[in-house]
A and B are shown apart, each in its own frame.
Chain A
Amino acid sequence: MPRNEPTEVTDGWDGGRSPRRRKAVRYGVPVAVAGVAAATIGLVPAFAGSGSPDLPKISAQDLIAKIAKSDVQQLSGTVRVTTDLGLPSLPGGGAGAFGGAGHGDGAKGKDGATASPQNKLMELASGAHTLRVAADGPAKQRVSIVDEAAEYSIIHNGNQVWAYDSGTNTAVHSTAAAHDKGARWHHDRKDAPKDLPKGLKNATPQDLAQQALKAAGDTTSVTVDGTARVAGRDAYQLLIKPKQSASTIGSIRIAVDAAKGVPLKFTLTPKSGGAAAIDVGYTAVDFAKPAASSFTFTPPKGAKVVDGDKERAKAARQHGKDFKDRKGLEDFKDRGGLNVIGKGWTSIATIKGSGSGLPTGKSHGAGGDAGTFLDGIGEKATGSFGSGRVFSTRLVNALITDHGTVYVGAVDKQALIDAANAAK
């Protein structure tokens, strides 16, 4: 017992340490423990981040070629997805609605709707999520979104696609037609909303890297920026920077596995600085062949099974009425309402509106409230095009004119106004 340390016993009358000092020493223990813990928490990630492995130099071209050549068919791992788009945090699917895909809360309560992949993937558009992925060639993939005390899994095996939602104990079954087109990693994306913010519709670093490199051209500077360790593997860092000043994207950093050429981490930082807007990376990765049982799915006893093909058909019939349906933007495109102005990083999507646009604060009646609400989140903008409102997120800005035309892009406000002026 520390109170009875033998050293104290042999002390003479006045030889003992002073009580005050002893007290200070004892209180030092918890302080030291807390300090060491804080230092570990604070410094270890910093060390891990700066711990750049010593790798042979490689040019950006070679690295991109390495990615293209990479032929990893089998892997399993855990992906951490963190998105901070600066969307107003509204309950339910509100954030998704601002991202451009408007399945609202209304869709959620419907039978089977929560188990549909589209809705689930939308949830990735905000906050932090953990995904477990496994792949064995183009025909077998599995993605699970790990939620608190719940899990949402998509299992693709051959032409069978199952989605299982543990929260509602519902399984959605669909039959995949010839969607694959020989592409790697194109599992669930065929069902993903096409109108997701760029980079989000495919949730693995590989897909995001493909997207980013596709956009790279003469408007982009691509460099190799040192090395890093990701998920315990040595990786090169590819740094992609838009040259166009109007872009809201500051930089994109892709960590590429030095041995396998597989992108392991994708980080998109907005020009405004701060935390990454999109950060997707493996926290654990294994290139061994996953167990075959990972890709088999039998609906558990008692689970509700929904035929996804029928559901989709039903939704397609309904989309005419539902303006904000996930296919809404495609419809615009079909009708010629959607145009893309500019190229590279500063492309601006334009949707011609025919209506009177948004209700303004000046308008009367029920519109007044909505106008006031919009004034709260939107910013008035005027130009030679007339006037409208700019809605800003950290990455994407949108200008909605009073005429109802929408300009959306990963560009700053001025670029949108310029585009609107030019369109006039």
Chain B
Amino acid sequence: MPSPPTAGPRRAVPAERERVIETRGLTKTYRGGQLAVDGLDLAVPRGSVFGFLGPNGSGKTTTIRMLMGLIEPTAGSARVLGEPMPGAGRRVLPKVGALIEGPALYGFLSGRGNLLRFDAADPTADPRTRAERVGQALERVGLAAAAGKKARAYSLGMKQRLGLAAALLQPRELLVLDEPTNGLDPQGMREIRALVRELAADGTTVFLSSHLLDEIEQVCTHAAVMARGRLVVQGTVADLSATVLGSSGGGRLAVTTPDTADAARVLKEHGVTDLDVTGERVTGNLPVPASAAPPAADGPALDLADLNAALVRAGVRVRGFGAARASLEDVFVQLTGEGFDVAG
């Protein structure tokens, strides 16, 4: 089980200066009346790894572009690192590393040449340390060996890494990563996730957009879910699981046993609800903890080990015993009422 996230209910509304990204009523209507983002109120706390979740076409990228000053909002406003965007872009953006909608490179330049060029575009970057910083960034994403190769010869994964390296040319306060593991093999994904964790441990706030639920679940402390241009929910990952799936408790218990009737009886006595017997399998909802807080905060209402012991004491022969924790996918399906891969 991942350790509990930092922000509990006591800090549900962090102080404004603690918000790295904050938007109010952020709206973007493209020419032709297509509403891409609709009244978005987003709050990303400092130090968090913030998962930005939504199917393709749900407005994630438009939101990120507005935060980065690439797109002018139709209405509403956005603040990044406490300053308004796009107005303060010149001061804010040097402290922000970004990977937006996949990497884009100069194919005729080497990997190193690409990074040198992007670094030269930053007026605050010191040209004296440029070569050194480029070398470090390449090292960090594991591209040092291929740095001299023309970027057009790179594989998609290498391009992704180079894009990430561009975001890491300077120490950043905020990293905005749009689908950072896109196109990577499982090994590459693991490396990138490890890198994100490492950066977060250094105190960098990471704003990570993804359509991969397990990715968000694995690395993020906070998450927001978008669907069809609207923000559906935001909060800590644990809160999302707890509050959204509150009606179905902490998860679903599954017991495999030939003695289904006894098992159902014992489980019912221990407060498990909505029991269902199918063949040799008994499933039911675990009881809801007294408070909405995560189990770690107040202690579990029901210890699964005790429950198992009780079953055994009652003479139930247990072949299999386990609890399925509510996943973000469950959250998402519950919130949007649709499958995840449906394009908005």
Contact = CB atoms under 8 A, between A and B. Distances in A.
Interface of A: 1, 3-5, 8-9, 11, 13-14, 16, 19
Contact of B84 (A1, A3, A16, A19): A16
18 contacts: A3-B69, A3-B87, A3-B89, A3-B90, A4-B88, A4-B89, A4-B90, A8-B87, A8-B88, A9-B87, A9-B88, A11-B87, A13-B24, A13-B77, A13-B79, A13-B84, A16-B77, A19-B73
Nearest to B83: A9
B232 to A, nearest CB: 23
A3 B83 CA distance: 14
Given A4-B87, A13-B84, A16-B77, 5 more contacts: A4-B88, A8-B84, A9-B87, A13-B79, A19-B74
Contacts of A5: 87
B305 to A, nearest CB: 52
Instruction: List the 7 closest A-B pairs by CB distance, nearest first.
Output: A8-B87, A4-B90, A19-B72, A9-B88, A13-B77, A9-B87, A13-B24
Contacts of B87: 3-5, 8-9, 11, 16
A162 B269 CA distance: 127
Contacts of A19: 72-74
A15 to B, nearest CB: 9
Nearest to B23: A13
A9 to B, nearest CB: 5
A14 B86 CA distance: 13
Contacts of B84: 8-9, 11, 13, 16
A4 B24 CA distance: 20
B88 A14 contact: no
Interface string B9-49: 00000000000000010000000000000000000000000
- Chain B CB count within 10 A is highest, among A3, A4, A5, A14, for A4
Contacts of A1: 90
- Chain B CB count within 10 A is highest, among A1, A9, A16, A19, for A9
A332 to B, nearest CB: 75
A8 B74 CA distance: 16
A9 B73 CA distance: 16
Interface in B77-98: 77, 79, 83-84, 86-91
- Chain B CB count within 10 A is highest, among A3, A8, A13, A19, for A13
A11 B85 CA distance: 11
A156 B24 CA distance: 84
A143 B73 CA distance: 66
Contacts of A16: 77, 84, 87
Interface in B249-274: none
A5 to B, nearest CB: 7
Interface string B142-164: 00000000000000000000000
Contacts of B77: 13-14, 16
A3 B77 CA distance: 16
B314 to A, nearest CB: 62
B173 to A, nearest CB: 18
A5 B84 CA distance: 12
